[in-house]
Structure 1
Amino acid sequence: MRRSLAPSQLGKRPLLTEGEGRGKRSRKPLKPIQPPPTLPTPENLSDHEAMIKAILSRPFKVPMENYTPGYGSRCLGMRRSGMRRALHDPDEPNALVLYRPPEISANERLKIDQDKILVHVVVDPVLTAVLRPHQREGVQFMYNCVTGVCIEGSFGCIMADEMGLGKTLQCITLMWTLLRQGPDTKPIIEKAIVVAPSSLVKNWYNEINKWLGGRVNPLAIDGGSKQEIDRSLEGFMNTFGRRPANPILIISYETFRLHAHVLHKSEVGLVLCDEGHRLKNCENQTYQSLMGLKAKRRVLLSGTPIQNDLLEYFSLVHFVNAGILGTAQEFKKMYETPILKGQDAAASDKDKERGKECLAKLIGVVNRCLIRRTAALLSKYLPKKVEHVVCCKMAPLQEQLYEQFVKSEAVKRTVMAAEEGDTGSKKKGSSLSALSSITSLKKLCNHPDLIMEKIMERSEGFEKAHLLFPDKYDPKKVLPELSGKVSVLDTLLAIIRSTSQDKVVLVSNYTQTLDFFEKLCRARQYPYVRLDGTMSIKKRAKVVQRFNEPASPDFIFMLSSKAGGCGLNLIGANRLVMFDPDWNPANDDQAMARVWRDGQKKQCYIYRLLCTGTIEEKIFQRQAHKKALSSKVVDQEEDVCAHFTLSELRDLFKLEKNTLSDTHDKFKCRRCVNNIQTKGPPEDSDCTSDISLWNHCADKKGLVDVALKQCWSSGISFVFHHRSHEPKVVP
């Protein structure tokens, strides 16, 4: 059989008709080809065909329920849709991961609803890039606190880092993270409120814009009528949803208190209180209005959580985590009384042991919601700082006026009131209170001109003071030699001006003292600027910016400690003079931190001036007492010396004559022989250590600051000095 006739080949080509030869084809047309059978259309599909078509039209799906590969599956070379994943990549080398979900096996994933799978919480890389190691640690700690990880059922914390460590940046990082993400891919909070001193409202607004680059639009309330403010606050409180237009409200303490009725209407995710030591009194209206805010997550910022006593410390802890220390009465009985009793220099061994036990218990409770790092961390980033406490002898006229006043009958009556603890009362017909007497003594320590009005009016205690002045005395003239401190300051400024390009910040608690500084600067032709409570916030920013410019001609920046104690960056200067001490050591520390901070390139010198043997040294001693308490409770330092008994601290109205330094005498230094230091301070000590561990000298030979050495003959009697750190020499 021919192969072409085989059955397998017949269907491949048409058969030849009769009469057709092998090499000769017929010219007759071929039979028309029949069209194929009609294909099924959607209208005429059978049920079976429709089912198969529907099955085949489905896209491919991984045969594992809820399976979505994470970042670790990137090696597959594809990204499958429908997966829940973190907002930012947790596998990046520098990523700051605040929350890591528990590991889940593939088998467990089959059983879990996709909407319940948790994801990483990762800090925005824009912020991670600028966070220093201690700031990363701070953000992690605060996140754990506000999410209830540290204390079950409590969602607050205290960021107690010292000044200059970047508390603002850490809190902005926390807020932005909470506003944008959470373990369930939803933001943890919708809105946050920042409460700050009025002078810092604009600063917070600028800082948020600086670090977040316009990614969020904060609402800053820094002025306007009551109706306008109420409308703005109502708009903020009544906005809900995942992305509100203004998720962050920045408001001052005063405005918050006045408009609390609006802010109490609905819940807020987070409240953050800057300079939180303003809440040290749990009885005042501001504290109560903030406690009434419906916000379970609370963060309080304060570089000085203990300013005066432990009850203030209780108020701060109670604000962020109410109840963890009991009531105020329970706290006083369990902690405050035994700790203070044990800290007294005259305490018995039993009281000291009891105080130590209670202190350890208090620290154990509070440490779960408080983080504290000292300025020692800045030594990696800042130049060396040298601090001095300079005791200045009073001028003869000053000493006569001082002694006459403290021995007057009026002061004797006020001392009796002070001993009874009634510092504001007036005893036995006297119009002179203990507080006004203290103020007069402090001003007299600055310069007699500051009390001239009382002298001319023959006020109580100064009835005969006018007889001590020379006949041709003119209060309109600047006479630095009538004050020991001013004489030293005048000499120091002249030496700095003539031997260096350094700028100086002059700080005082009294605007009246700043007025005197102005007269002195005009007399010496020193260019200067001045910032006090009368200057508007907008003008402050311009003045500070101009002073910090290297080309600025201003030599001196005069600063009222209460108006500019916090938030100011004065790195244009590298020398600061603290002219008079404050009862609250935190105020002095805030003011002295204006020059030694981020951005400073030159070595810094801090000078604290005290009148020898006067109330100023007593105030300084009281500061040391408060700092010792803070060191034990907050910084948890060991072997903090308690040099002063409570009775000694009350001895304010006594002039200590025939002394080079009453403070040095009080702590009975064991490193000195005849006021000459024979043994240096411990190697691990610095200017944050107890004053008894500082270098000190009764002559200029022991000083390292050349400018201060040249001032010794102007009236210096004794100097304590120490440095921040020893910069590492890079080979």
Structure 2
Amino acid sequence: MRRSCAPSMLKVRELEKRRKIDKLFEKDEHRNDEVTTSSLNEESWGTSRNRGSQFEGQTVKENKDTFHTKIIFNVVWREMTKKKHKTWDGDGLLEVQLNTPRAVLKDSTGKYMGTNTKFEIDNLQEGYQMVVGGKEIELLEQITDSNQYFALKKQYAENRWNSEEQLQSKEATKKLKISPLYQSPYNVKNGVELNNETNQRNNAAEGSILTDTGKLSFNVVWREKTTKKNKIWNGDGVFDIHTDVKRGVLKDERGQEIGVVENVNLSDAVVGSILVVEDKEIEILDMVTNNKPQKLNVAKSNAPKPREKRALTKTNGFILPSPPENYLSELNPAFLPIHAVEVSYRLAQLLRPHQKDGIAFLYKCVMGFHNPKYRGCILADDMGLGKTLQCLTLAHTLLKEGPYGGERVLHRILVATPSSLTRNWEKEVNKWLKCERMYAFVAGGKHKLCSYSKQQHVPFVITSYEFLLANVSEFQCLQFDMLICDEGHRLKNESTKIVAALRELDIPRRIIITGTPVQNDLREFYSLAEFVNPGIFGNYQEFHLHFERPLQQSQSPEASIEVKNLAAERTRELMQISETFVLRRLQEVNGQYLPRKYEYICFVQPSELQQFLLQKALHLYTQRKETILKDLTPFQIITVLKKICNHPSLVARTKTPNLLTRTLERSLPDCTEMGPFDSSKLELVQHFLIASAIQNGEKCVLVSNHTKTLNMLQGLCDFLNIKCLRLDGSTSLGERNDNVEKFNSDSDDSLVFLLSAKAGGVGLNLIGASRLILFDNDWNPATDAQAISRIWRDGQTRDVHIYRLVTAGCIEEKIFQRQTAKISLGDCAIQNITQNNEDVMKFTAEDLSNLFCLQEDYSLCQTHENLNCNCNGDGENLTLEAQTNNRNINALMNWKHYKAPFDTNFLEDACLENASDNLMYIFCTQTE
């Protein structure tokens, strides 16, 4: 039988093993350091004094050849796993030999972990993931400074020597059981050299750690006891040992007691040891102490400082506003010291100026700096300005620290979003916060909320409004510190179930993200404001009488001077309150980062068949009481008129035809005789696609609010042999993402993307296209605005052209005018353009309700006539006098107006040179 080694023999073998590892580790360093092997003999390992003299005698000389043949990366690593939600196990260092490709992975103590020789050197860059020695790693950043590299190697050597010293002084450790806690890597890392004599060191440790309270505190990580092979920690905590009664108490990061253990052996409380507390396992990280060590000599150290702190000190990082003094007693009742809250340097360097302003605004709102009673806000930035990034940066900052004593403000955040955007939010969290070790849990589908109990260290919970409404009781069991509602205009009706469900969660800080805070009337704005800051405007009756009614009355051109003055006063008051919790910026603030944008409003004359059908449909509607069409509703006639404007053939394709459509079908020619020429808009699109897609090879997006219209446009693309992709309400989420990625890829030969305005107007990025046509208009301008903004956003490299097609003289032009009025109403509440009430688009009630009248003279543009514009239609800029005298739609006065016949060069630039036959007017504007 083989005998086991005596303990003394084990000790000798352990020292011999470490000596061999040190020699391997220091091969490269011997070429650069003036250190002899004799100075590293076993006799010099006994005391810290000898080690200190060794390092003082070393003069590290940078060897440039090392960094010509080797590159080094900071990395994170984990064991290979098939889990869906993976976490990193630790930090490390990857040394790559360039002459003979070979990568060596070492952990944070310099211990060898594995080697890889099969990799491409060109792929080694920040964010690249690879496998080394059975470990998955991700490259964080390259170390280019040799001093930093050798300082890290020196730190690793000190950590190993510490372990050997603890092994040799085991007897001394038993006599003074708390001394190993004092010899933590933290002290070595920060260059603290202990006193020469062992007894003095022990006395200093004893005096600094033992306190009059008889309690020792340790920072720990904890998890539930499990038999799984790959275990993960659930969270951070503090483990207090009461030395007088040998009782240990485990508390989580909120200070709540989660476990107690009796008869604690102090010799077991060593850094790195794993203890059991009731049904939980803990690992001791380091000891918490407020007392300074006695008589410690601070020695110079080459150990690198933390990366983020060094960068912030160097660049005076992005510091958020300090609390206001007038509310300090309410905001900080414990009178904790004021702490400067700083945004992570890694995130701060990615932010644009308007995004930094937005983060500072959000911070002041959720912290109650404007008023401690209200801690919510509405981020109403235009599409493409980075609203998601601003919210994530704010959340990350407050998850790390706060202004009062440095204590963090947030622990868990709920993100509610439409179901189609949950994965987008998860991607955004991984994109911006993955390097900060923060992840998200998506609740919905297969991922039930009960699974989150095993991942409560994950700070972000993302869910859809539908899933939250169905499982509101489960969400109530979790305590959230902040709520983020994406596409928050869904909460515009305060009586809906989802609003009630969100209020039941009782989350103190609420942020609404929306690009369209007002879509129909100011009541919607009141509902959003009441949700984020309950009571800020009183009840709705008070808001209506004090704000909404005066503003609505002033929109009429017949409004008296007294009504206008009252509206101006109430507008200023409304703006003064709204500015404390609403932030609205337009895309122009991002214009310097984007290419030029050209917008065209194209008014086309209806074809002869369209004019005939429009007149007949309106005649049947006006005479309905005397015919069998007496039950015909205004909604039905509006639907039919819009179909005729798109193409007469759509009238015959109705699934549930009524008497009106059946009557109109008898007037239609045979389907084989109809074509694009029967619709002025479709004919324009045909000539446009030939010029832009076929001749110039430009990608284009065609947008419509109706599925049958998309079918018609797809048929036109097939007729022209143009390959197209499509996204509408029937497109699955996976197919949706695939189509978008294909279209944005340069290798894909699809030149047209067919997009449903309602199904695809949110969360899409179609920067592969440089031209977009909005084929028809929706009553809600926000729907069209969302769809139009799909191509003019970050990542676009070419000039963008956007076309809005309007059939003149009929219901489509009335819809366009109504849209303009809605945009004006929203801007009154958000952008304060009512400082000059005469510059707001206004329509009388008669103008808005007169939808069923056709224009007799199609050579005139009714919208241009409403402008009272005296221009010649040649695109010349308008005079200031003409703008001042205007009383109607002055928002379009800054656009250039063109009428037929058009300049040839202008049409060629717009790819409309062959589509001018039916064009009456074109309004054009350019954004630099």
Normalising to structure 1: TM-score of the pair? Answer: 0.79
Displacement of 1:386 in angstroms is 0.4
Q: What is the aligned partner in structure 2 of residue 642 from structure 1? A: 841
Tell me the residue number matched to 1:697: 898
In the TM superposition, 1:25-36 aligns within 5 A as: none
SS at match of 1:408: helix
In 1, distance between residues paired with 2:860 and 2:679? 17
- Whether the aligned pair in 1 keeps the contact of 2:840 and 2:890 (CA below 8 Å) is no
Higher deviation after alignment, 377-386 or 634-643 = 634-643
Match of 1:368 in 2: 580
Aligned length: 621
User: How far apart, CA to CA, are the structure 1 residues paired with 2:367 and 2:918?
Assistant: 58
Indicate conservation of the 8 Å contact 1:196/1:253, yes or no. Answer: yes
Q: Secondary structure at the match of 2:315?
A: coil
Structure 2 residue corresponding to 1:451, chosen from 651, 660, 666: 651
1:224-239 alignment, distance < 5 Å: 224=446, 229-232=448-451, 235=453
TM superposition shift of 1:430: 3.8
Give the CA deviation at 1:88. Answer: 8.7
More strand by share: 2
1: distance between equivalents of 2:300 and 2:365?
38
Which of 93-102 and 209-218 deviates more?
A: 93-102
Match of residue 925 from structure 2? 722
Q: Which amino acid aligns with 1:357?
A: E
* CA spacing shift, 1:653–1:87, aligned 2, 3 Å: farther
Percent of aligned positions that are identical: 34
User: Residue 507 of structure 2 aligns to a residue in which SS?
Assistant: coil
What amino acid is aligned across from residue 895 of structure 2 in structure 1? W
Instruction: Give the corresponding residue for 1:205.
Output: 426
Q: Pairwise mapping of residues 338-353 of structure 1 onto structure 2 (< 5 A)?
A: 338-353=550-565
Superposition pairs for residues 256-655 of structure 1, below 5 Å? Answer: 256-409=468-621, 430-453=630-653, 459-462=658-661, 464-470=663-669, 473-474=670-671, 479-637=675-833, 638-639=835-836, 640-655=839-854
- Whole-angstrom CA distance in 1 between matches of 2:339 and 2:774: 52
Residues 404 and 167 (structure 1 numbering): CA distance in 2 closer, same or farther, change over 3 Å? same
Any idea what the Cα deviations from partners look like across 1:303-324, whole Å, max 9, x if unmatched? Answer: 1111110000101111110100
Q: Secondary structure at the match of 1:121?
A: coil
Q: Structure 1: which amino acid aligns with 2:596?
A: K
2 CA distance for matches of 1:373 and 1:383?
18
1:127 aligns with 2:347: yes
Distance in 2 of aligned mates of 1:648 and 1:55: 88
Supply the distance in 1 between the matched residues of 2:502 and 2:336 (Cα, whole angstroms).
35
Please name the residue that 2:315 is paired with.
93
User: What is the Cα deviation at residue 635 of structure 1?
Assistant: 1.4
Inter-partner Cα distance in structure 2 for 1:485 and 1:172: 43
**In 2 relative to 1, CA 505–715 (structure 1 residues): closer, same or farther, beyond 3 Å?**
same
* Counterpart selection for 2:442 from 215, 220, 243: 220
Distance change in 2, residues 1:192/1:629 (3 Å): same
Contact 1:391 1:660 in 2 (8 A): no
Taking a change above 3 Å as real, the CA distance of residues 348 and 56 of structure 1, as seen in their structure-2 partners, is closer
Q: Secondary structure at the residue paired with 2:448?
A: helix
Displacement of 1:357 after TM fit? Answer: 1.0
SS of equivalent to 2:543 = helix
Aligned-residue offset at 1:443: 1.4
Query: Does the aligned pair in 2 maintain the 1:135–1:170 contact within 8 Å?
Result: yes
- Structure 1: unaligned runs, 5 residues or longer: 1-41, 43-49, 61-65, 69-75, 80-85, 104-113, 415-426, 726-731
State how far apart, in whole Å, the 2-side matches of 1:295 and 1:575 are: 43
CA offset digits 1:265-285 (Å, max 9, x no partner): 343100001111111111111
Q: CA deviation at 1:438?
A: 1.3
State how far apart, in whole Å, the 2-side matches of 1:222 and 1:544 are: 23
1:447 is displaced (CA, Å) by 0.6
TM-score, normalised relative to structure 2: 0.63
Give the Cα–Cα distance (whole angstroms) in 2 for the partners of residues 254 and 497 of structure 1: 40
- Pick closer, same or farther for the CA change 1:402–1:356 going to 2, 3 Å: same
CA deviation after TM superposition for structure 1 residue 186, in Å: 2.4
Question: C-alpha displacement at 1:295, in angstroms?
Answer: 0.5
Contact 1:618 1:649 in 2 (8 A): yes
Quick check: 2:683–2:915 contact (8 Å CA) kept in 1? no
Superposed displacement of residue 187, structure 1:
1.8
Distance between the aligned counterparts of 2:367 and 2:623, measured in 1?
A: 56
Matching residue's letter, 1:147:
M
Q: Deviations over 1:458-515 (max 9, x none)?
A: 7333454234333xx126x771011111011111111112431210000000011111
Q: 1:204 to 1:55 in 2, by over 3 A?
A: closer
- Give the match's secondary structure for 2:740: helix
Q: Distance in 2 between matches of 1:77 and 1:165?
A: 49
Q: Does 1:162 pair with 2:364?
A: no
Q: Displacement, 1:633?
A: 1.6
- CA shift digits 1:522-576 (9 cap, x unpaired): 1111000000111111221111111101121001000001111011000000000
The one-letter code of the counterpart of 1:445 is C
Structure-2 change in CA distance of 1:404 and 1:457 (3 Å) = farther
Q: In 1, are the aligned partners of 2:620 and 2:629 still within 8 Å (CA)?
A: no
Residues 326-360 of structure 1 show CA distances to partners (whole Å, capped at 9, x for unaligned) of 11111111110111101222211111111111111
Larger Rg computed on CA atoms:
1
The amino acid of 1:124's aligned partner reads S
Whether 2:393 is the aligned partner of 1:194: answer no
Code of the aligned partner of 2:448:
I
Shift of residue 453, structure 1, vs aligned partner? 3.6
- For residue 249 of structure 1, give the secondary structure of its aligned residue in structure 2: strand
* Residues 260 and 497 of structure 1: CA distance in aligned 2, closer, same or farther (over 3 Å): same
Distance verdict in 2 for CA 1:57–1:718, change over 3 Å: closer
Q: Alpha-carbon deviations, 1:227-269, whole Å to 9, x = none?
A: x635246x38xx8xxxx32211111111111111222334310
CA contact (8 A) 2:414 2:483 kept: yes
Indicate how the Cα distance of structure 1 residues 409 and 159 shifts in structure 2: closer, same or farther if over 3 A, else same. closer
Please give the alpha-carbon distance, in whole angstroms, between the structure 2 residues aligned to 1:461 and 1:703. Answer: 45
Q: Counterpart of 2:390 in structure 1: which amino acid?
A: Q
Report the equivalent of 1:664.
Answer: 863
Within 2, Cα distance between the matches of 1:413 and 1:307? 35
1:343–1:355 CA contact under 8 A, matched in 2: no
Structure 2 letter corresponding to 1:669: N
Query: Is the partner of 2:484 in helix, strand or coil?
Result: strand
Q: State the match for 2:161 in structure 1.
A: none
| Distance change (3 Å), C-alpha of 1:502 and 1:149 | same
SS at match of 2:660: coil
Distance in 2, matches of 1:474 and 1:208, equals 52
SS state at 2:512 partner: strand
Please tell me the residue identity of whatever aligns with 2:416: V
CA distance in 2, matches of 1:633, 1:413: 42
Q: Secondary structure in 2 aligned to 1:672?
A: coil
> Contact 1:529–1:556 (CA<8 Å) still a contact in 2?
yes
**Which whole-Å CA distance do the structure 2 matches of 1:293 and 1:689 have between them?**
45
List gaps (5 residues or longer) in structure 2: 1-174, 176-198, 210-289, 293-297, 302-307, 326-333, 884-888
* Alpha-carbon distance in structure 1 between the residues aligned to 2:503 and 2:393: 24
Which of 1 and 2 has higher RCO (CA within 8 Å, sep 6+)? 1
